[in-house]
Amino acid sequence: MNLALLAMASQLVVIDPGHGGTNAGAKGPGLHEKEVTLAIATRVAERLAKANITVELTRTDDRTMTLRQRVAAANARKADLFISIHANASPTRTQRGYETFVLSARGVDVDGRALRTDTQEARPGIDPDIALVLDDVERGAAQWESADLAARMQRSLKEQRGAEGDRGVRQDAHHVLLGATMPAVLVEVGFLDHPIEGKELALPETQDQLAAAIASAQPVGGRGPMGAGGGESGFQMFVGWYCPVSISV
Ligand SMILES: [Zn+2]
């Protein structure tokens, strides 16, 4: 097996269907966000599995989990990538479109450290103070990669769903991906309470379209220590989990 194939085989993507259980999320026509996110996440997982990427879902049934628990599970599994899938709602029910959030700097500084302390996840044999610095370095790199992934995700959604729904890549304090040590993004696929978009999101064909967009945003091809350059965003100084093998999903 050559190095590129080895890199591919070892890549683990954690897909997080937002909400679940008592936390139903936004309400759409005849269904809730928790059902839409699970339907899309399941489709993303199927597509990635076909491309020989190892995928795990944070939930495969209707259960209540906090975002912190979801990220902690991804950290514990040493995931290479974390993608949380959500659907939106707006007070006026007039908003529509898709957007992608990246890990925020505030999340890195405050919640990342808090999570590490909460879960007693020590680095064996390393001075605790130095371990904290290493945590920050890792998260800094992950944050750049998250921004890169978010840009790809948004482009991919635009190809599938049309430019008019493009709300852009965002960062804000309400969408921190608490303590993620891997590149992590949160995708809001559309507005469930919009009279037209909400109905679309309930359709299997739209869910499949969104899954195709999310799956094809996986950063593969031409990056990292084994590949020639070719990244689009200028973040090439960060190498690691990028895999130089092209796939189609
Ligand atoms: Zn949500």
Give the span between the Cα atoms of 158 and 55, in whole angstroms.
24
**Residue 247 maps to a domain:** no
Domain at 9, CATH number? 3.40.630.40
* Cβ atoms of 88 and 25 closer than 8 Å: no
| The most confident of 65-69, 218-222, 224-228, by mean pLDDT | 65-69
**Residue 24 maps to a domain:** yes
216: CA distance to ligand 1 center in Å?
22
**Residue 105 maps to a domain:** yes
Q: Give burial (CB, 10 Å; 0-12/13-18/19+) of 198.
A: buried
176: CA distance to ligand 1 center in Å?
12
15: CA distance to ligand 1 center in Å?
14
The boundaries of the domain holding residue 82 are 3-216
**Residue 203 maps to a domain:** yes
**Residue 240 maps to a domain:** no
18: CA distance to ligand 1 center in Å?
6
Mean pLDDT of 25-32: 93
**Residue 212 maps to a domain:** yes
**Residue 225 maps to a domain:** no
Q: What is the reported pTM? A: 0.74
148: CA distance to ligand 1 center in Å?
22
pLDDT at 247 over 60: no
Task: State pLDDT tens for residues 47-94.
Answer: 999 988 999 999 999 999 987 788 888 889 989 888 999 999 999 999
- The structural domain count of the chain equals 1
127: CA distance to ligand 1 center in Å?
38
192: CA distance to ligand 1 center in Å?
10
